[in-house]
C-alpha cells in the first residue's frame, strides 16, 4: 500500500502484482487505511486470474494483510500466504518499485488535486505500466506482451 496526498486528505492505494509477468492484476483506492482496501484489491485480482491451489501470495507484515478477513479469503482460494521477515523491506521490492514509478511519473505537476481526481490518473498509469512499460526482468517487454508471448491472458 502507498499513500498519495490530495487536497482532501490521503488517498491510499493497494495493488496486487503478478511477480511472474510484473502485471498489476488488482488494485483499489480508499480514503482510509484499513483491511477493506487490500481486500478489494485482492478480490479484483482473484477475479482476473485463474487461481490454482498452492499459489503464493506475498505481502509485507501490515495489519491489513495479517487480518483474519484477508487470510480467510486467501485460504478459501487455496492461496498460501507469505509475509516479509521482520525488518526486511527488500521482500516487496517489485511493488515498491511500482509505487515509486507511479509517484515519479504520474503525479500531476499541480499535485494530486481532489480524491476523485486520483482514480483516473492511477488507472491511466496502471494501463501504461501493464501495456507499455518495459521491464528488464521480463526480457524488456511489457507485462501484457510478456504474458501474450507465453500463452497467458487476463
Please name the residue that has the C-alpha cell 499459489.
55
Of 10, 22, 26, 5, residue with least CA distance to 123: 26
CB 39 within 8 A of CB 26: no
All structural domains of the chain = 2-118+128-148 (3.30.420.10)
Segment 100-129, tens digit of pLDDT: 999 999 999 999 999 999 999 999 999 999
pLDDT per residue as tens, the chain (154 positions): 999 999 999 999 999 999 999 999 999 999 999 999 999 999 999 999 888 888 888 888 888 988 999 999 999 999 999 887 776 666 688 899 999 999 999 999 999 999 999 999 999 999 999 999 999 999 999 999 999 998 776 5
Beta bridge pairs of residue 59: 83
CA angle, residues 42, 55, 154, in degrees to nearest 5: 60
In this predicted structure, what is the pLDDT of residue 146?
95
| Amino acid 131: pLDDT | 97
Amino acid at each position: 500500500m502507498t499513500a498519495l496526498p490530495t487536497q482532501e486528505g490521503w488517498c491510499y492505494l493497494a495493488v496486487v502484482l503478478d511477480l511472474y509477468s510484473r502485471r498489476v492484476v488488482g488494485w483499489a483506492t480508499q480514503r482510509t487505511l484499513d483491511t477493506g482496501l487490500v481486500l478489494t484489491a485482492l478480490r479484483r485480482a482473484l477475479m482476473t486470474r485463474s487461481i490454482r491451489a498452492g499459489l503464493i501470495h506475498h505481502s509485507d507484515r501490515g495489519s491489513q494483510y495479517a487480518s483474519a478477513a484477508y487470510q480467510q479469503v486467501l485460504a478459501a482460494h487455496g492461496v498460501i500466504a507469505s509475509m516479509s521477515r521482520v525488518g526486511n523491506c527488500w521482500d516487496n521490492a517489485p511493488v515498491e518499485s511500482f509505487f515509486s514509478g507511479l509517484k515519479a511519473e504520474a503525479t500531476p505537476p499541480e499535485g494530486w488535486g481532489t480524491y476523485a481526481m486520483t482514480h483516473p490518473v492511477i488507472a491511466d498509469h496502471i494501463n501504461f505500466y501493464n501495456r507499455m512499460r518495459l521491464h528488464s526482468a521480463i526480457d524488456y517487454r511489457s507485462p501484457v506482451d510478456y504474458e501474450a508471448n507465453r500463452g497467458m491472458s487476463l
